[in-house]
Amino acid sequence: MRRLRTTLLLSLAFLAGSADGTCVRGDDDPPSLARALYLERTMREPEKALSVFETVVANQATPVADRAQARFGIARCHESAGRFDAAITALSALVDDEATPTRDREDARAKRGDLVKAKTTSGDRDAEARRTDELRRADDARRNKEDRLSAAKTLIESAVAQIKAKRYEDARQHLLDALRLDPGNERAITLLDEVGGRTDRGELLKQAIRFVASNRVADLARLTSTVDALRKSAKTALTEGRPADAVDALRTAVSRIDESDFYAELEGTRRELVAWFGQALKEAKAKGARIDGGTVVPVERPPLDALGPVKPWRAEFFSLLGRIFASREDGAAAVRFYDAAIPPDSSPEAAGTRFSGSGIASSKEAGSLRRSQWIEKYLRREVSPGTWSGVDRLLDRYDDLVVVQHGSGVLKTVDALAASFPVTPAPPLAVEIRVYGATGEGIAEAARLLGASAIATEDGVSAIVRAFSLEEQETLLASSSNLVSLARASLRLTGRRTATIRFHEQTAACPAYADKSAPPVVIPDRDATYGLDVELYGEDLGAGGKKDAAVSIIARVRRPDRPRLAPLATGWARAPIFVEQACEADRRLPYGASIVLFGLSNPFRATGYAGDATGGAHPDLLVLVSAKPSGSLATDVLPPTAPPIPGATAPALPADISTRDYDLGAVGHDLVDEPPPEEWPRATFAASKASAGRGSRDAFLAGWITDQARLSSDEGPLVVRDGKATVTASVGTHGRFGAVVEALVAPADRIVRVDVATLELAADRARKLLIDAKVERTSPQQRVYHLDATATNALAERVESLHDPASRYEFSAHLAARHTQLVTARSIRSRAIIEEIRSERRDDGTTGLTPVNGTVEEGAVVSIRPVVWTAGLVSIYATALLADVEKIDEWRPEGLPPTSPLVALPRHRVERAAAFGPISEGESMLFLVPAPGTDGARVVLVIVRLPRGS
């Protein structure tokens, strides 16, 4: 009876419709069981059918039998999408409804049991897939291990022969190679121990470190190439509709990074792969594809002991060396290996990045200092200085590994120092920098005011001021007439805890290089600026109860000297010459105290040496660096005021105006726009250059941030360049800028899918189509419409059969774009033309004609830029451009002979439409653009849709 009732309902649905079925498919029809069954079984659109089934169930006027069939339909729709829990819930509601006929309740109970079993079976399949993947990896590891063991055995036999011949250096090298392949080989360990007894172990360790370092570059290049190939393969699979293959490739790529020694170097690449993995997994589940290896997104790196048979060989190698030397009982000094790698943050930007500066122009860039370098230099200077050379004494560093060989007392001190560093990602460190210019007596006066004096173990170029806070130090220095404040900067160290702050001026503005005397001064791009670079590493050591931080500073001054004559290819010119200085400090800095750097010359033209042959009014520099744990995002970095600069040519900024850099993260650095050529259709459509994409992107980001932060006309300018936004504004505006930049950067890895479809038809037909789809129009001249999900679906169903294959403007495209990335969809028809006739004079005096062939194009180009907001909203910035070739004139340039071919002169008719606005998943933006050359009689519908699951 149920089958008969269902068949009758479907038959009635078809009979009620017109001959072509438009009534059955129309969204105008009220939701009914017949329509839901039609969508589910005939149209094969379970998601659309699901909403109709739910409406039928919610309608209190629905008969009990129809409501039961609708609930069965809800369960079937959820089951087809793999949502077993939702299907089981729908069937449970049917079982619990006492008004439902008994037979239907029994069928629902039986179906629910089948779904529970299917869900369990699905989980078993995932578990089996994971076991299969583990077995495959174990088998690969076994084969690799057998190959490595065979090669190691050959090397050991060769080492034995070298030992017999007393060629110990060659034997040691072969044994190290063998242990790299087979770290657990007892025979190799014993032989290496024997060979090590014939020489200084410190020298042996240095050879081991050099051996590992020599393999590192090649291994990193090999791993990067493999990961890039897997990423490219995954993207191709996604494009071709094979998400399960993409999941396999991406899982393999992430595993390769996790199993390597290069996790920190490839941390950003891994985050991108994980984002792609989630997208591919989502698409694979939607298609019901079989996924091998489980469905868990690898957000966190597994511990090294959980990586199975594959582990980073360098970690095993150094661990083995540590065991070898620890087992020696010959009375020699012990050896320690310290892993000084900074634990990577799962989200290094979660704590927020902050940088601000005033006075001399400043910017924040990447740094290269690291924890292991600080430990090495701190130990060499602060812990038993002068005793780190000789037999059984070693202090060396490989990458993030520190190797120490010394007496037991010193090793205890080193153990305590290593234990003071956090084993988990440390909190961000807030760092303040102050730069002063000083007269000849200013440095000595500053040291007296601050009570800064170097102790016996210090080099005299740096000292720690503990008696005064940074604010008190500024007050003391401001009282001296021999000192002038030049620049201030505030920043937060996150991620790798390193950065470089550049205080710079333009070389072209230096008086010595700005004169017009001959020959001219030639300034290459690499010499465009000069000034002071302060490279920093800082890490909070407060986990053990002590209130201090590990801080490394390298300050480099680069100042211009008088230019020198240089013979260039274009003739004699004067080239800029720079004098460089550097000083360094690696100290344990208490909270609130400052490291003061002495001995640097002042390069800045307003107060120092640059361009002043007499040495300037303030020829020396004084640099203060203070650090403390980062607190509230809003308060731990204070906006510095602009310090006075005596003799500066530019007017001083108001007290509450300052210039700051805002790092735009991946939004500013990683993404490249794909804009259409600015002159299309006059110029043929070709891939835009990277510079054009970067220019359009910087312009959009600058305008968007300015608009969102409400930058007033008396502030600014705002410049976006090299992934940073630099703005001069008041304190309140800076607060808004910080919030806007954080909102912009947060969804940097979000990928948005956009569907674009165009349709050409008569204007009156288009208006009727909009009315039938219940699209609201505010005026007859309206060109842009925002359609909700219902109107979008209704319009999509109605235009499905209206396409005109002969139209030059119609096409359908599916695009994907990162947050804020510009992408372009197009359908272009081109034809060949004679673009130009070149008249060239030959060597014999005759004239030759050379035709230049080109193309003329017409069609439709649609550019889309999605900007992700919260709550599933995406702002779409869209531009539609239609072009039609009105006619092609022919013309012969003056002076050419009558037999020369004619040049084609195409004339285009162009129509444009642009708009932006927020839309949600399932909604669309509609352009109603007049077809060029039809005087409004025909229009082109351009539909930009955000599909569900975007």
Lowest mean pLDDT among 304-318, 351-365, 666-680, 883-897: 304-318
Name the band, by pLDDT with cuts 50, 70 and 90, for residue 554.
Answer: very high
Q: Tell me whether strands 784-787 and 924-930 are parallel, antiparallel or unpaired.
A: antiparallel
Can you tell me the distance from the alpha carbon of 770 to that of 791, in angstroms, rounded to the nearest whole number? 9
Sorting pLDDT into bands at 50, 70 and 90, what band is 121? low
Amino acid of residue 238: L
Q: For residue 217, is pLDDT > 70?
A: no
Please name which of 407, 397, 393, 411 lies closest in space to residue 336, comparing C-alpha atoms: 411
Q: How far is CA 831 from CA 653, 857, 901, in A?
A: 58, 7, 17
Identity (one letter) of the amino acid at 920?
S
For the stretch 2-54, pLDDT in tens is: 554 555 444 544 444 433 333 344 455 678 888 888 888 888 888 888 888 88
Higher pLDDT among residues 884 and 599, named by residue: 884
Highest mean pLDDT: which of 175-184, 667-676, 775-784? 667-676
Looking at every residue in the chain, the average pLDDT score rounds to 77
One-letter amino acid for residue 427 of the chain: P
Q: Mean pLDDT lowest for which of 276-290, 811-825, 832-846? A: 832-846
Say yes or no to pLDDT of 231 above 90.
Answer: no
Q: How far apart are CA 829 and CA 831, in angstroms?
A: 7
User: How far apart are alpha carbons 890 and 797 in whole angstroms?
Assistant: 45
Looking at residue 758, its pLDDT comes to: 92
CB 941 within 8 A of CB 759: yes
Q: What is the pLDDT of residue 640?
A: 46
Please tell me the least confidently modeled range out of 363-372, 495-504, 612-621, 733-742: 612-621
**pLDDT for residue 637:** 44
pLDDT in tens, 283-305: 888 877 777 766 777 766 665 55
Distance of CA 699 to the CA centre of its chain: 19
pLDDT for position 60: 83
Give whole-number Cα distances, 375 to 382, 383, 460, in Å: 10, 10, 20
Q: Are 903 and 836 in contact (CB under 8 A)?
A: yes
According to the per-residue pLDDT averaged within each range, which of 40-49, 683-692, 863-872 is highest? 40-49
Please report the DSSP string for 23-67 in residue order.
Answer: HHH-TTSPP-HHHHHIIIIIS--HHHHHHHHHHHHH-TTS-HHHH
| Average pLDDT of the residues in 588-593 | 86
% residues pLDDT > 90 (the chain): 7
Q: Band of the pLDDT at 264, cuts 50, 70, 90? A: low
Sign for the CA dihedral angle at 825, 826, 827, 832 comes to negative
Does residue 469 carry a pLDDT above 80?
yes
Flag whether pLDDT at 107 surpasses 60.
yes
Structure tokens at 308: 């199975």
For residue 882, how far is the Cα from the chain centroid?
34
617 pLDDT band, cuts 50/70/90, is confident
- pLDDT at site 18: 36
**At 252, is the pLDDT very low, low, confident or very high (cuts 50, 70, 90)?**
confident
pLDDT digits (tens, 9 = 90+) for 754-763: 999 999 998 8
Helices 168-181 and 201-239, interaxial angle, to 10°? 30
C-alpha R_g of the chain:
36
Residue 279: other Cβ atoms inside 10 A:
22
CA atoms of 647 and 633, how far apart (whole Å):
36
pLDDT of residue 381: 82
CA angle 478, 482, 488 (to 5 degrees): 50
φ, ψ (nearest 5 deg) of residue 577: -120, 135
pLDDT-based confidence at 904, cuts 50/70/90?
Answer: confident
| Higher-scoring residue by pLDDT: 178, 950 | 178
> Tens digit of pLDDT for each residue in 70-102?
889 998 888 887 788 888 888 888 888 888 888
Least confident window among 115-124, 584-593, 630-639: 630-639
Residue 618 one-letter amino acid: H
Comparing C-alpha atoms, which of 532, 342, 503, 488 is closest to residue 422?
342
Residue 24 is predicted with a pLDDT of 41
pLDDT in tens, 447-466: 888 887 655 445 667 888 88
User: Which of the two residues, 183 and 274, has the higher pLDDT score?
Assistant: 274
Rounded Cα–Cα distance for residues 135 and 141 (Å): 10
Residue 555 reports pLDDT greater than 90? yes
Residue 241 has pLDDT above 70, yes or no: yes
pLDDT of residue 646: 43
Rounded CA-CA distance 938/950 in Å is 32
Does pLDDT of 558 surpass 50? yes
